[in-house]
A and B are shown apart, each in its own frame.
Chain A
Amino acid sequence: MKDFALWAGLGSAAGGLLAALIVPFLLGNRALQRSFGFGFAMLMSLAFLLTGIQGLGQAPVQISLPGPIPLFPWQFLLDPLASFFLAVLGLVGFAASLHGLGYFRSLPARQALRVLIPYPLFLGSMALVLLAANAYTFLVAWELMALSSSFLILVDPHLVHARKAVQQYLLIAHVGALCLIAAFFLLSRGSGTLDLNFTSLAHTAFSPGLANIVFLLSLIGFGAKLGILPLHIWLPEAHPAAPAPVSALMSAAMLPIALYGLLRMDWQILHLQGSWWGPLCLALGLLGAAFAVLFSAVQNDMKRLLAYSSMENMGLILVGIGLAEIFSQQGMNTLAALALTAALFQVLNHALFKGLLFLGSGSVLHATGTVQLSQLGGLNRSMPQTAFLVFIGVLAMAGLPPLNGFASEWLLLQAFLLAPGMATGLLQVVLPLAAAVVVLVLAIAGLAVVKLYGIGFLGLARATTAHAEASLWERLAMGFFAVGCVLFGLFPGLAVDAIAPITHQLLPGKLLAQPGIELLTPISPSRASYSPGVFFLGITVAILITFLLVWWRFGRPWRRAPVWACGFAGPTTPRMQDSASGFSQPLLRIFTSILRPSDQQDGSFQVTVREPFWDFLYVPLISMMYSVAARVLRLQHGRITLYLMYAFLTLVFLLVLVLWGFHL
């Protein structure tokens, strides 16, 4: 029963489509609807997780089902590459659905259906994208994923900006989908068959010219989902507009699926033919990460901050993939495996901590009614458990040892440090600069997340405060992610071992060997090693002994008193604290030419930063489209004779084409 896992994954994905159909008939009982919808989604995610774990350990299996058109059967494949992303999807889906049980508890019945119908569809279609084994199946699932997620962004009918966000999202998603269709079309031309099965495509040799074009198309197509510049504009709009569990799913599971697509297309099908692909991916990743981290640090909306940070993380992962491509081109397969492992580990870690933080922002929204940092504060007293769980996510996202975010960053930096032996030509300049940019991005990402926690959760409550702790479901879901952050932080070998089959699949030769799950030693212990468990134990023991000694010798009870504040006599008020804009003001000052802040408003220091690509690229593009459309309008006169003439001319044109011997 080798294909049992594949059937199980497939069955639960199809179950998602089924659940979407059943839920509307459970009318009347909201609680029943909700528990059925999210309970089922949790079961689905669990099945994905188990399928993924099983698939990582076994040889690829494939099944084929008859489709509606004889030429295009539904084909599904479970190999290590898909399995890893499926497992990540399962992890995120499970916790997000658990959170959804609590998060959507106060939703009116009509709105509840707006979540419960597309939600399982979204989850199922993401799994189908990962399991798809041919272009036809892939594209159908890809489209289903984009559409179902856009319905989820629109859950709250009163959010006007959500509608605008969805328009942008769908537009960019379809530009991307068109590029993917074009890429598969070219592959079909290149291989001379209509059978676009991924495995058989991988055995076909494509000419370098075609491969280059397909690579560029795939980069645009998947980059649109990934948020590479300048196709990212939907990302900071759509994530905040969606309900928190959906934001978590989109950020932690849907964005990485685009990475899966890139790996599948460029690594497996095209075999990394072009020597410039790696540097291009590296450059795009660096640019995106640097841009996103700056914009993330100056946001005042918690969810927008997290959305930009997701974009930054995707950029860093793309840097890892680009680095792996460069190494692979040079024949350094061990180093390529190291960089790829770092990138994929970062996918997992990002899923865990970003999922946690998005869910946390949802709980904050529920408890206070806002995610504007400038109105929050003091949440660690009004909702201490949520605040503590978010704190773990913050430490992980800031890339602090011994949590998981640090482990993958460590691997990525190690990959850079092993580079100089093989760098030649321009790479000698590019690689050290890239390493420098990466460390700068990581440091500013720490600033952004400290701002999120310091302004939002600490200090005194500014405008609103939470009246109650988040519901048990929400806390359980966040706890699930938090445990993951700690677990993969202390035992990074678990993830490295899980990723090993993928590097085996994509790269030839004997690759990374891990001595144990508690230790990271990429090449050899004398070269570099990191054992987070010993590290954590060391700090804990040091803190404990310090505490006990101090308590034993000088342990007088401490006393609470009003803040001293350098002897300020009056009462301290929340308005004396830094505002969210104020906190990032020094950074704004340094990067003012990039961030272009608007003026402060009415007495309180609040800076808004506009998306430059929207103003300088999309707005001119849109106005150009309008003017072109106005010109085209001249063709339309409403006279039937004219239209008949257009049809006739088109026919003549096509006939001429056919006469010249042009056919598909």
Chain B
Amino acid sequence: MNGVAWLGQFLQILLALGLAPLFMGWLQTLRAILQNRRPAGLLQPYRDIGRLFHKESIVPESASWLFRFSPYVRFGSKVMAAAMIPTLMMGLPLANAADVIALVGLLALARVFQVLAAMDTGTAFAQLGARREVLVSALAEPALLSALFIVSLLARSTSLNEIALRAQTQIFSIHPSMVFAGVAFFMVLLVENARIPVDNPATHLELTMIHEAMTLEYSGRHLALLQWATQLKLYLFFTIGIVLFFPWGISPPTLQVGSLLLACLALVGKLAIAAPILAVVETLLAKRRLFRVPEFAVSAFLFGVIGLLSHFMLGA
């Protein structure tokens, strides 16, 4: 059983690493089609990462070890998160090492390293991005936590594994507090992944940059890791959403090829359906003014708080 569980764990991580760029490619293709552009193809993110890995890495003269170390921390923590979220199989060895609160802590760890690495370069752009990022995430993190709290209150557990298990057996998506949690979670997803209306992942315009500004000084394999980590983050947020709200199809903790294949197919199918939602949202909405971004994050937080309140008061 133990060896089997570790094999499942390993498969789940590999799946995340492999699917994340594909998911990003699918999203970009959809966006291009919606915006009357010719898509670059599903495999473009793989080509980008591959190209960057072969290029030379340049490190600013003013940067210290933190600058070089930070891409590995970001990537490594995303891999760890991928191991913890039960996307493929439940009851995996690393699933109980940490719960949803620790998962948020893990994301915060990656972010703090990224922000500090940006400040390490000592350039105006990077620090500009850093200060925007810490503010926006200081408002988004409570929103994410309150959304996760609502779900854990309903599932009577903060362990993602248990949440997925309970959600499979008893459908709690119809609770009123769950609706608030869902809205808050989706807004946080937009904020944390630097999507429109919060940030534009395709721009390098200084007035609006948040996330991209922090990675400006990176190149070569460091940048490749960062881009891969960004894709993993988007993938992870979607899988968290799937675990919380649509957990059907995740394989039970036994290694059966049939149920694993089914879980794989279910995951790919759910991701394929989820991407158009994001693409439509991004196409329909305009990028907000930077000063409005905190309001967006705060309203996500308020949705979470209202959800918590309704759970405490209605018990549902």
Contact = CB atoms under 8 A, between A and B. Distances in A.
Interface in B145-165: 145-146, 149, 152-153, 156-159, 162
B139 interface: yes
Contact of A420 (B62, B124, B162, B312): B312
Contacts of A66: none
Contacts of B37: none
A576 B122 CA distance: 8
A62 B223 CA distance: 64
A194 interface: no
Contact of B221 (A400, A444, A554): A554
Interface in B240-273: none
B2 to A, nearest CB: 14
Contact of B68 (A530, A542, A558): A558
Majority DSSP secondary structure for residues of B touching A: helix
A586 B83 contact: no
A547 B123 contact: no
Given A395-B112, A559-B57, A563-B62, 7 more contacts: A398-B112, A401-B109, A432-B309, A527-B162, A530-B98, A546-B75, A578-B130
B126 to A, nearest CB: 8
Contact of A436 (B54, B58, B142): B142
B29 interface: no
A435 B156 CA distance: 16
Majority secondary structure of chain A interface residues (helix, strand, loop or mixed): helix
A590 interface: yes
B77 A378 contact: no
A526 interface: yes
A613 to B, nearest CB: 24
B178 to A, nearest CB: 15
A380 B116 CA distance: 12
B127 A578 contact: yes
Given A432-B311, A526-B157, A585-B131, A460 B62 contact: yes
A583 B128 CA distance: 8
A365 to B, nearest CB: 21
B80 A542 contact: yes
Contact of A401 (B60, B98, B308): B98
Interface stretch (A134-142, A233-241, A448-456): A448-456
Interface in A42-68: none
B313 A454 contact: no
A332 interface: no
Contacts of B132: 586
29 contacts: A378-B122, A400-B105, A401-B105, A413-B145, A431-B312, A436-B301, A439-B146, A443-B142, A447-B135, A450-B115, A450-B116, A450-B134, A451-B134, A453-B116, A454-B116, A454-B119, A454-B127, A527-B162, A531-B97, A561-B61, A564-B58, A564-B217, A565-B123, A565-B125, A566-B204, A576-B123, A578-B127, A583-B127, A585-B131
Interface string B197-220: 000000010100000000011001
B312 A589 contact: no
Contacts of A381: 64
B131 A528 contact: no
B280 interface: no
A625 interface: no
Contacts of B305: 432-433, 436
B158 A550 contact: no
A167 interface: no
Given A378-B122, A566-B125, A446 B112 contact: yes
Given A443-B141, A450-B134, A546 B76 contact: yes
Interface string B269-282: 00000000000000
Nearest to A521: B96
B119 A417 contact: no
A212 B157 CA distance: 37
Contacts of A582: 131
Interface string A571-589: 0101011100011111101
Nearest to A395: B112
A586 B53 contact: no
A514 to B, nearest CB: 15
Nearest to A579: B127
B20 to A, nearest CB: 14
Contacts of B66: 380, 458
Contacts of A416: 149
B139 A547 contact: no
B291 A589 contact: yes
**Residue from the set A450, A535, A578, A583 with the largest chain B CB neighbour count within 10 Å:** A450
Contact of B130 (A410, A432, A454, A566): A454
Interface residues on A, range: 35 or more
B218 to A, nearest CB: 10
Interface in A469-488: none
A493 to B, nearest CB: 15
Contact of A528 (B64, B99, B108, B137): B99
Contacts of B141: 439, 443, 446
B122 A566 contact: no
Given A460-B62, A542-B79, A535 B98 contact: yes
The 10 A-B residue pairs with the shortest CB-CB distance, nearest first, are A543-B76, A459-B122, A454-B119, A432-B308, A534-B97, A542-B76, A558-B57, A578-B127, A460-B122, A542-B79
Interface residues of B, number: 81
Contacts of A443: 137-139, 141-142
Interface in A403-438: 406, 410, 413-414, 416-417, 420, 423, 428-429, 431-433, 435-436
Contacts of B108: 398-400, 446
A526 B166 CA distance: 11
B62 A435 contact: no
Interface in B76-99: 76-77, 79-80, 83, 94, 96-99
B42 interface: no
A663 interface: no
B94 A560 contact: no
B159 A546 contact: no
Contacts of A464: none
A295 to B, nearest CB: 15
Contacts of A436: 142, 146, 301, 304-305, 308
A562 interface: yes
Interface string A528-557: 111100110011101100110010011010
Contacts of A431: 312
Contacts of B83: 538, 542
A413 B120 CA distance: 32
Contacts of B97: 530-531, 534-535, 538
Contacts of A534: 94, 97
A527 B131 contact: no
B102 A435 contact: no
A528 B312 contact: no
Contacts of A393: none
A458 B80 contact: no
A647 interface: no
A644 to B, nearest CB: 67
A423 B309 CA distance: 12
Nearest to B106: A401
A529 B99 contact: yes
A525 interface: yes
Contacts of A539: 73, 76-77, 80, 106, 109
B315 A420 contact: yes
B227 interface: no
Contacts of B128: 578
A377 interface: yes
Given A428-B312, A443-B139, A459-B122, A563 B116 contact: no
